[in-house]
Amino acid sequence: MRARVVVAVLVAVLALYLVLAAWRGWLLVREGGVVPVLLGVGILLLPLVGAYAGWREVRFGLATQRLAKELADAGRWPTEELPLAPSGRPQRAAADALFALRRREVEEASEDWQGWFRLGLAYEDSRDRRRARESMRRAIALHG
């Protein structure tokens, strides 16, 4: 529940920022002249890009949360306890060993969204966020 509150606050702050940026862009367009109008149009485009990026992130978060709940309800949530480094993150060697196992699972059943989700968790434990997100996106796509 706490994460939802944090996300809601961040989305509200982003929305406020985007509205203020759009307002400033509109003021520049209304001022007239080539330079202010071009700057105003550029500033007006930034909120559109920001809103799109924010919407995609929220949608991704909701989808992964839904899949995580479904995985846990099905009793397929990973239960391996990885040793932790002083930072609180899993130790790299242990995470890499678990990653190899998860990778084999996906190779054996490449259309199983649950395997891709667990592979994404293993990528995250191995500190490869880009591939973790790719695996999660694949799981979301396979889940439908």
DSSP annotation of 89 reads S
- pLDDT band with cut points at 50, 70 and 90 for residue 82: confident
105 pLDDT above the threshold of 80: yes
**In terms of domains, do 68 and 13 share one?**
yes
DSSP annotation of 122 reads H
Please compute the mean of the pLDDT values over residues 42-52 and round it to a whole number. 88
Domain tally, the chain: 2
Read off the pTM.
Answer: 0.75
35 pLDDT above the threshold of 90: yes
**Residue 104 in domain:** yes
**In terms of domains, do 63 and 120 share one?**
no
**In terms of domains, do 15 and 56 share one?**
yes
Domain boundary among the residues 16, 39, 73 is at: 73
Range of the domain at 111: 92-143
**Residue 116 in domain:** yes
**In terms of domains, do 64 and 117 share one?**
no
User: CB–CB of 123/99 below 8 Å?
Assistant: yes
